[in-house]
């Protein structure tokens, strides 16, 4: 009768939720996140680091075999050589740090194989050992067992890393039997590898038990596919809310991967805190909070907070004085504007300045083309009495904003930089803050950015997640209002500050529609984001790798939008007071008669940015046939 039973470890006692190489890939990602600025350019890529590590392991195994051992290696030796190869300069030894992080990642991905429990029970009276071919030693493997709270006592772990002997040659079995004091006839071995655990052991006369091996698909290269399954959290789609929820699930990668890229950037650049700008930032920050709660990165993550800002609330505060040159920052974007719209944008009551408007015969309702050239406006901007009054109001708005930032957020005009996040599209709020906090370096991270209307303040920098110009111009540009709408929290826009608090304004109709259409959509996004985040814990990717996936989703949304998403899009109504003094509201559906009017539909489509949505919303799919026929005809006759 056998006296001992030994176990392989991986896929026998312990299973992983990912491919073994993905644990190494996590370590490669950790190196980049923490030491990117010290790496050689070639190795600022997780796959290149992984390939170099595997190459070093192979060389170390070969070297040890030439010295008389088996072809095995030790992980600390590998990490020391890897560091020497990938770093552009000599830094203190980080091999122990990398080993510690890899052990922590192993803890995240491992679980006890339930199929081993009956075997433990069957052989409960035998002493138990482990014999494993692995680059970590007994000390590290025991730490993993302790983490899993292994329900049996393992007398000793024989790891190939400790002895530089392995099971493939049979030498590690022999070494274990020699130290334990048993022969093969007294020995049972359990493992999953057909060759090293079964065939080699059998040749030595050891009785064996075969375990099932888990296979994972893994390609160590940029562009490897995602395998998370969002369909499993979708609802029955019987109600409007359930249908919207399911559409939100499909949109989850858009918000998650943007949030993931923000956090990754902050880690790499040692940013302590990320400030999310209202309104969309109130939605984006939930992804940051999700990632903090269930960290896929393995490093300490930056804190996050909301700053309540808007173009209106920050623009007037950013103006040191009312001058034509300062207002050009606004007029470069709104080349035609009435005085009423200007004062709305400044959040100043124009009724208090009526006498000056009358003095210079300015009709406050009249839209003025290129106001900076208008003689009446120029005269107004030179009126000392008017300037004294309005500049006092601007100064007060600046003081109120500074009070809010200092007392509510602990932000003052010192040299400590701040990092903000918003949806885009030109980073105007960030520019305004830069004119207010002149001593600070102010960073901004955006979903995407378009060409700037104004010269950028010297104390700013901006990063765009969607940086492919084709995607930006062909997909995002047509759906800008949709992208703003789906992230709308329904809390209204900031119009100013008082007593260190932000003043918010939301149209009641806007709040109702957000609750009806957008909240169910966002619930789907957040539930989908949880699924993706759990996946990312075990399958490391760099943020840049996620972009092509996001681009495909954007293209699909634009060309084949779901009916639920279109209904949400055409339900929108929100404040767009800045620059225009308007509330944005989508038009009603076409009448039955208008739908049959080809010429009217064609003319409307010419000015409609998101044509596919308009066609589906109004049930005029025949326009697609006509448009495609027209394109085909042009190709035939050679016209573009």
Selection from 81, 70, 15, 22 nearest residue 47 by Cα: 22
Domain 4-210 class?
Answer: alpha beta
Which residue from 216, 123, 213, 203 is spatially nearest to 168, judged by alpha carbons? 203
22 CB burial (10 A radius; 0-12, 13-18, 19+): buried
Q: Supply the DSSP string of 333-358, one letter for each residue.
A: T-SEE-HHHHHHHTT--GGGGHHHHH
**Tokens 């509510």 — which residue?**
408
Where in the chain are the domains?
Answer: 4-210, 233-310+412-575, 319-394, 587-636
Q: CB burial class (10 A; 0-12, 13-18, 19+) of residue 495?
A: middle
**H-only helix segments in 15-94:** 20-35, 46-66, 75-86
What pLDDT does residue 588 have? 62
Residue 583: pLDDT over 50: no
Average pLDDT over residues 51-80: 96
Across residues 204-227, what is the average pLDDT?
A: 91
Q: At what angle do helices 563-570 and 519-538 cross, to 10 degrees?
A: 130
> What's the pLDDT band for 637 if we cut at 50, 70, 90?
low
Q: Find all residues with CB under 8 Å of 58, minimum gap 6, and list them.
A: none
In b/e form, how buried is each residue of 404-427, taking b as 16+ CB within 10 angstroms?
bbeebbebeeeeebbbbbbbbbbb
State the average pLDDT over residues 366-370.
93
Written as one string, the DSSP assignment of 93-155 is --HHHHHHHHHHHHHHHEEE-GGGHHHHHHTTTSEEEEEE--SS-HHHHHHHHHHHT-SS---
Alpha helices in 339-443 (DSSP H): 339-345, 354-359, 375-380, 384-409, 428-436
What is the tens place of the pLDDT at every residue in 237-273?
A: 899 999 999 999 999 999 999 999 999 999 999 999 9
Question: Distance from CA of residue 196 to its chain's centroid?
Answer: 42
- Greater pLDDT, 289 or 578: 289
What is the SS3 assignment for 14? Answer: strand
466 and 553 Cβ atoms separated by less than 8 Å: no
pLDDT score of 191: 97
pLDDT at 563 over 90: no
Cα maximum dimension of the chain:
111
The Cα–Cα gap between 499 and 497 comes to 7
347, 593 contact by CB (below 8 A): no
User: Each residue of 122-167: pLDDT tens digit?
Assistant: 999 999 999 999 999 999 999 999 999 999 999 999 999 999 999 9
> 116 with 139: CB under 8 angstroms?
no
Q: Which two tokens stand for residue 293?
A: 């709660």
Beta strand pairing call for 442-446 and 460-464: parallel
Cα angle 425-253-574, degrees, rounded to a multiple of 5? 45
CA gap 440, 418 in Å, rounded: 7
Confidence at 578, pLDDT banded by 50, 70, 90: very low
Q: What is the pLDDT of residue 587?
A: 57
Helix or strand (DSSP H, E) at 588? none
Phi, psi (5° rounding) for residue 129? -135, 165
Count Cα atoms within 13 angstroms, Cβ side, for 264.
Answer: 22
Residues 6+ apart with CB under 8 A from 179: 156, 158
Its pTM stands at 0.90
- Look at residue 635 in the predicted model and tell me its pLDDT: 60
In the prediction, which pLDDT does 573 show?
61
Span 606-618, pLDDT tens digits: 878 888 888 888 8
With a cut of 50, say whether residue 113 has pLDDT above it. yes
Write out pLDDT tens, residues 613-635: 888 888 887 877 766 665 665 66
Which tens digit of pLDDT belongs to each residue from 315-332?
999 999 999 999 998 988
pLDDT for position 132: 97
């Amino acid at each position: 009768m056998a006296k001992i039973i030994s176990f392989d470890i991986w896929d026998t006692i312990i299973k992983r939720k990912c491919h073994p190489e993905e644990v190494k890939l996590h370590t490669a990602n950790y190196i980049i996140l923490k030491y990117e600025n010290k790496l050689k350019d070639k190795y600022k890529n997780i796959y290149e680091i992984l390939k170099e590590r595997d190459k070093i392991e192979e060389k170390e195994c070969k070297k040890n075999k030439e010295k008389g051992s088996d072809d095995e290696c030790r992980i600390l030796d590998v990490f020391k050589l890897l560091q020497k190869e990938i770093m552009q300069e000599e830094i203190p030894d980080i091999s122990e740090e990398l080993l510690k992080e890899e052990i922590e990642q192993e803890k995240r991905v491992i679980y006890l194989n339930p199929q081993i429990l009956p075997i433990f029970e069957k052989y409960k009276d035998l002493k138990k050992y482990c014999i494993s071919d692995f680059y970590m030693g007994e000390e590290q493997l025991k730490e993993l067992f302790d983490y899993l709270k292994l329900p049996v006592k393992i007398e000793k772990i024989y790891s190939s890393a400790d002895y530089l002997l392995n099971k493939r040659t049979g030498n590690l079995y022999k070494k274990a039997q020699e130290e334990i004091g048993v022969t093969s006839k007294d020995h049972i071995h359990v493992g999953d590898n057909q060759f090293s655990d079964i065939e080699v052991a059998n040749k030595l006369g050891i009785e064996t038990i075969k375990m099932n091996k888990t296979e994972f698909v893994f390609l160590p290269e940029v562009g490897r596919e995602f395998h998370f399954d969002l369909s499993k959290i979708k609802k029955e789609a019987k109600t409007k809310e359930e249908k919207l929820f399911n559409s939100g699930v499909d949109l989850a990668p858009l918000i998650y991967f943007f949030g993931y890229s923000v956090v990754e950037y902050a880690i790499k650049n040692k940013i302590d805190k990320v400030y999310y700008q209202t309104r969309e930032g109130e939605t984006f920050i939930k992804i940051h909070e999700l990632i903090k709660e269930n960290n896929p990165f393995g490093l300490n993550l930056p804190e996050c907070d909301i700053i309540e800002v808007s173009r209106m609330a920050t623009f007037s505060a950013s103006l040191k004085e009312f001058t034509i040159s300062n207002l050009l920052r606004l007029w470069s974007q709104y080349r035609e504007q009435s005085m009423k719209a200007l004062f709305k944008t400044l959040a100043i009551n124009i009724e208090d300045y009526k006498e000056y408007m009358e003095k210079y015969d300015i009709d406050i309702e009249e839209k003025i083309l290129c106001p900076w050239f208008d003689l009446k406006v120029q005269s107004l901007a030179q009126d000392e009495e008017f300037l004294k009054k309005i500049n006092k109001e601007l100064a007060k708005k600046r003081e109120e904003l500074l009070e809010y930032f200092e007392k509510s957020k602990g932000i003052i005009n010192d040299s400590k930089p701040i990092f903000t996040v918003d949806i885009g599209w030109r980073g105007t709020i960030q520019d305004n803050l830069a004119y207010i906090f002149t001593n600070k370096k102010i960073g901004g991270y955006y979903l995407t950015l378009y060409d700037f209307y104004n010269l950028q303040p010297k104390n700013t920098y901006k990063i765009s997640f969607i940086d492919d110009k084709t995607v930006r111009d062909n997909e995002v540009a047509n759906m800008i209002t949709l992208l703003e709408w789906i992230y709308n929290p329904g809390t209204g826009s900031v119009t100013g500050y008082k007593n260190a608090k932000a003043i918010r304004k939301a149209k009641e109709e806007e709040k109702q529609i957000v609750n009806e259409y957008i909240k169910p959509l966002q619930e789907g996004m957040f539930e989908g984001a949880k699924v993706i985040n759990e996946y990312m814990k075990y399958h490391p990717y760099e943020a840049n790798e996620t972009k092509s996936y996001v681009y495909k989703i954007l293209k699909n949304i634009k060309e084949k939008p779901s009916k639920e998403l279109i209904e949400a899009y055409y339900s929108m109504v929100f404040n767009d007071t800045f620059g225009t003094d308007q509330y944005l509201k989508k038009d009603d559906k076409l009448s039955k008669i208008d739908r049959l009017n080809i010429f009217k539909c064609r003319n409307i489509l010419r000015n409609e940015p998101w044509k596919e949505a308009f066609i589906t919303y109004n049930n005029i799919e025949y326009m697609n046939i006509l448009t495609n026929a027209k394109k085909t005809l042009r190709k035939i006759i050679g016209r573009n």
